[in-house]
Structure 1
């Protein structure tokens, strides 16, 4: 009997320890996003992300725009859940090969590098979705743009949605009406459409994304159009050539809006934001941001924080992926199994 009681106490103590850890994990992952989510569990995570991003942008300034776009393309498809990071497998088709993403999104290697460093010091703690959100912010800052507080505590999805990626992301050929409706469907008004489009102040576009604009649009400066045709011949031979999205594409500034005022927006969807209509909401907003860069910076930071909070997974939803490109499996299974084993032992004694 003494032996049995000793064994039971030992099992119970072990159970209580693991169950306490289970409750801590549940508590840490529940509730609203907070700016200090990892302050105890992974205190160096923000400095680690910032360091890797800064190094990547120093090596290739275009990477800043790529990481920002990666976050945007993640959030507009089922929320900011890291689903865009999942690679295709024999039994799974992710979002990376959706039309708006294929040959467009990049920077996965940088996210993987960050994840690897974070895992080495805080294994199984920091989500890929959070890494992506912070990396986007740090990319903007690295190129001279505004900072904002990234709220943390997202968890990673265990699936992706290729179909939604094909329909929920803005296409470079969209007109203003379609753009306005698409952003409205995601909870953003016309002013936020304009300010988030201002992300095109950095980065480049492939000729294939605006070739039809050169052939069909009238709302384009003729000299500017001629310069684009030199890089993007009408026969399509330069489809993969790239041009900067604004005149200072490696600096986050408000030059993008000046380009729109002078009919030098590269993408059709960009120029749709300004047509010269003095009473148009987006026209007015473009003019405002062209006149005041500080207002643009403030509004952009606010819109990015709002976007980063879209339909996030928290609590026990999703998981914390060990590798951002693939799914782990169910969370907490080992602890749940031990709880069941203990209860079974007690009732079978």
Structure 2
């Protein structure tokens, strides 16, 4: 099995480094000559951050998704707002992103050994891989050679798929980025890590529609527990729920709970609305190995969308 997975990953890296970006190819050995210690240096920074804050894995994985879905994986989500320009990180879907300091620390560590060589986009992609692996999930060779973008616009963050999206909206959002319905199901498994504030699932537990106060697809006991934490007039700033019952471990619990009606978002439940995606959910719930292989495949595909132009010296501002 390990040999098959390794062969699959090598093939995917070759395919996507040739086909996903019309700008430049990505390769697994991009820094072998120019900065051979880059990956181990980044991993050490990420590992230290996780020890100090268990929220880091979910934060960096989500950050990478949000980066790649806007202008490709070009680290535009890392740029700070300047003057009259409001950057992506300050757009409505991104205001809850955090742990930017981990990427800053990794960049500083890499700059100390290889000045001006490793892009912030590659650091974020490798960090996303590291947090998955360090949380008990799979590891993989990250195709490298991304460049950092110079444009970051808060309004463009509104293009991100939202937690209230139905299946058609999700599929449209993913297909615009060259991602399939199978990629959608596999990448949604990233919701095995982290926490959500009440606002992202309030629509399912209060005033759901004209007939139901609560989304009838929710397990009643689970819905009651969510309503107790997130009452209709909730004013608690940090109230919410973990995304699944093992929220610091990268596993297939998300899919098992989804089948039981215990997922948080409308976008999660949407995966149960077509026969093909429902079949994949059941497959991943039954086999963690199947999920791991599919997740790696889709992560490589998504993270190979590129579009930057430079290697920043500071991840928060253009050169």
Q: Normalising to structure 1: TM-score of the pair? A: 0.81
Give the Cα–Cα distance (whole angstroms) in 2 for the partners of residues 144 and 55 of structure 1: 16
- Compute the displacement of 1:119 (Å): 0.8
Partners of 2:315 and 2:227 lie apart in 1 by 39
* Aligned-pair CA distance for 1:161: 3.0
Measured in 1, the distance between the counterparts of 2:50 and 2:231 equals 30
Residues in 1 aligned to 2:228 and 2:194: alpha-carbon distance in whole angstroms: 19
Q: Mapping of 1:183-202 within 5 angstroms?
A: 183-202=174-193
Does 1:46 find its partner at 2:42? Answer: no
Q: Among residues 242, 252, 257, which one is paired with 1:259 in the alignment? A: 257
Q: Aligned with 1:273: secondary structure?
A: helix
Residue 171 (str. 1) matches residue 155 (str. 2): no
Structure 2 equivalent of residue 84 of structure 1: 77
Could you say if the C-alpha distance between residues 49 and 226 of structure 1 is closer, same or farther in structure 2, counting changes exceeding 3 Å? same
Tell me the equivalent position of 2:240: 242
- Structure 1, unpaired ranges of 5+: 1-29, 329-349
Aligned equivalents of 2:194 and 2:120: distance in 1? 23
User: How many aligned residue pairs are there?
Assistant: 290
Larger radius of gyration: 1
Partner of residue 211, structure 2: none
Aligned equivalent of 1:102: 95
Asked whether the 8 Å contact 2:163–2:266 carries over to 1, the reply is yes
Partner of 1:246: helix, strand, or coil? coil
Query: Structure 2 length as normaliser, TM-score?
Result: 0.88
Provide, for residues 292-328 of structure 1, a one-character-per-residue CA deviation record: whole Å limited to 9, x for no partner.
1101000100100111111343xxxx11111100111
User: Cα deviation per residue 1:92-141 (whole Å; 9 max; x = unaligned)?
Assistant: 221011121112x1111000010111111111111000000000000000
Give, in angstroms, the shift of residue 281 of structure 1: 1.2
Which whole-Å deviations, capped at 9, do the CAs of 1:230-257 have from their partners, x for residues lacking one? Answer: 2111112235313110111110000000
Paired residue for 1:145? Answer: 137
**In structure 1, distance between residues paired with 2:302 and 2:239:** 30
Contact 2:186 2:291 in 1 (8 A): yes
Q: Deviations over 1:20-76 (max 9, x none)?
A: xxxxxxxxxx94111111112111110011011111112222210110111110000
Output the CA distance in 1 between the equivalents of 2:300 and 2:203.
34
Which secondary structure does the structure 1 equivalent of 2:122 belong to?
Answer: helix
SS at match of 1:48: helix
Secondary structure of the 1:205 match is: strand
| Unaligned runs of at least 5 residues, structure 2 | 1-22, 209-214
| Cα RMSD for the two superposed structures | 1.3
2:11 maps to none
SS at match of 1:100: helix
State the Cα deviation string for residues 139-178 of structure 1 (Å, max 9, x = none): 00000001111011111111113232112x1111111111
In structure 1, what is the Cα distance between the partners aligned to 2:193 and 2:69?
19
The answer to whether the 8 Å contact 1:148/1:302 transfers is no
Runs of 4+ in 1 over 4 A off after TM superposition: none
SS of structure 1 residue aligned to 2:196: strand
